Amino acid sequence: MGTVRGSRKGLPDILQRKDQMQRGEFMFRTKGCVAAIKWQDNKPVTVLSTYHNPKQVTSVKRNCPAAVARYNSIMG
Task: Indicate the number of domains in the chain.
Answer: 1
Return the pLDDT at 76: 63
Backbone angles phi, psi at 38, to 5 degrees: -115, 125
Burial group, residue 32, by CB count within 10 angstroms (0-12, 13-18, 19+): exposed
User: Residue 18 pLDDT > 80, yes or no?
Assistant: no
* pTM metric for this prediction: 0.71
The per-residue pLDDT for range 20-74, each reduced to its tens digit, is: 889 889 989 888 989 989 989 888 888 899 988 888 888 767 788 888 888 888 8
Residue bearing the bigger pLDDT, 50 or 11: 50
Burial group, residue 52, by CB count within 10 angstroms (0-12, 13-18, 19+): buried
CA distance 9 to 58: 29
Type of residue found at 31: K
Domain range for residue 11? 2-75
